[in-house]
Chain A
């Protein structure tokens, strides 16, 4: 009896051993900035509980990620775990059968429907990635410069331009650090940053998807009119200023305000030698409801063809846990956990950003869900239009009309 039990136990260890003992999981990601955090914090914490699973974080360059991941999946050489872009890029992978259905994962209970919405089928029945984090848009400012010039963080549009005028008049600092060379900052940190206050967040976004609002309607053109005014407050030669140029201009203390996404916090904390603060996108009039872009940005899913599915699920359960949320949010301030368990964060700048969740209505970027499925691609066109509008080579009305025509050419509810 005991002997046979022992034999069984022995047999089970021998049999089960090879299955997990030598499992190596590879994570595909575009976050090459996070390499050290994965290696030094996250993977060791996971291995403390599961020493039998080796995890390798293998990131590629952000702009090449989607293309290279698609090729790897088609060729069958992709890693076991796939970092998921929000919405269509991942949905497309799921419908093609490259991402596994994770609806039954126990950890999914830790996330709200909104958090999961970016990685679900349109009917919400299947979820294929475990949500990791969202990013919030706003403006980061040089607090020392503001104190020197006697400025307070602006709340309304009028105050915002008054502050910019004052910085420009003083001449010590470039009022605002952003460029149009790489195009995406103009759209992401410009249009999608200030826009939700005009189209009233989810209300406008959903109306656009339903076809009851058009991109040529006032709430969608008005943010472009504001962007057109930014030109006067940007540095010399902003047309050729790249994203790293803008980051450096700000962290070197040469610019006072930086239209930001919260993902900048970690980098800025280590680069900038001055005190920083943040303010939410200014509202049109005092007392208006504020809307912020709290964009579900990053999740992690499983390669359906992975030979290590069991180990990958163990890892994904851990990613969905409160422990991971706490580690991740504190290791990467500015990537706010989507886990329902509240996470205490130590970074003051990150706290400032996340505090807007209490007073403002959150929404996600308008172009991400459904609307960028066709050709021309609305997101890419928005980059181009926003850059053109800031440079003044296209009027806000023309840009809006071009985007609307492009969208209407393939999206039935907008026809």
Chain B
């Protein structure tokens, strides 16, 4: 009774640096922003308005139209990544892990390199490639007789967002590829040999044996893509500016937040409404991650080798 368990100080000591840094850089600003979203300026003084900012954001057509437009665009941006980036990443990883492929390291590096480039470079280079005036895209299409397919994509409301999403896919396809590649390599040879003994080879081996084993990795990639896309800002800002033209067709939550929080040209910044938008973004990401964690992650079957 008198002999209680000794206080395990070392746990606190070892956790302290990480907790301190994370609290200072992430937790405090996050809660500061969430708290700020409950205030607004009235007659020059900061007053508590409760959920007033959110009521404005979702209730006033002026704000809600812009918000839903940004959210819709963001969903489309995410959808393109899920439908294009991740399947291509998986396919590339499957090809790379094939023992028959020669110079796999070269391809792996070449495909991964854009991932480490700055958004500024990627945005600028693609803007030049797609430029109707100086770009090589019209010339290349012309060379194969498909000039009629060319359009000033980044300037057309119906194509601009898709074009930018595909640029982003081009940049980041290396990440799912590497993660899946690592997952594929970790599948023990015995499992594959056993499959071969049972006559499962080639594509059916991929679908029936490998794919179920890499599903957890695909789940992680999906959630990383989700968080990354809903926090995206840089590429749109670099390519289309803070007004996310044409006619707000490429406006996503990140650019909407930037314009509102920091202001743009003659529009002065509104940190309170900006915080409300940041709060809404936080909520959206939180809900998405929770749905994944509790709805999907727990149901994924894991295999121990």
Q: Please list the residues of chain A having a beta carbon within 8 angstroms of any beta carbon in chain B.
A: 63, 66-67, 70-71, 85, 87-89, 92, 179-184, 235-242, 245, 248-249, 367-368, 372, 375-377, 379-380, 383-384, 387-388, 391, 393-394, 406, 409
Contacts and interface: CB of A to CB of B under 8 A. Distances in A.
Interface residues of B, number: 32
Given A67-B262, A239-B155, A387-B245, A380 B267 contact: yes
A89 B134 CA distance: 36
A380 B262 contact: no
B207 interface: no
B248 interface: yes
13 contacts: A85-B266, A87-B266, A89-B266, A180-B245, A181-B240, A184-B265, A238-B132, A239-B156, A245-B134, A380-B264, A383-B243, A391-B155, A409-B62
Contacts of A379: 265-267
A245 B127 CA distance: 11
Contacts of A183: 241, 243, 245-246
Task: Give the 3 A-B residue pairs with the shortest CB-CB distance, closest first.
Answer: A237-B132, A239-B155, A240-B155
Given A239-B155, A245-B131, A409-B62, A92 B268 contact: yes
B300 to A, nearest CB: 43
B247 A375 contact: no
B267 A372 contact: yes
Contacts of A245: 131, 133-134
B241 A249 contact: no
Nearest to A86: B266
A84 to B, nearest CB: 13
Interface string B248-269: 1000000000000011111111
B243 A380 contact: yes
B152 interface: yes
A235 B248 contact: no
Contacts of B130: 240
A394 B249 CA distance: 14
Nearest to A365: B266
B277 interface: no
A238 B152 contact: yes
Given A63-B241, A241-B155, A387-B245, A380 B133 contact: no
A237 B152 contact: yes
Given A67-B269, A89-B268, A240-B131, A181 B263 contact: no
Interface string B294-305: 000000000000
B247 A88 contact: no
A201 to B, nearest CB: 20
A63 B154 CA distance: 20
A89 B262 CA distance: 12
Interface string B211-245: 00000000000000000000000000000111101
B153 interface: yes
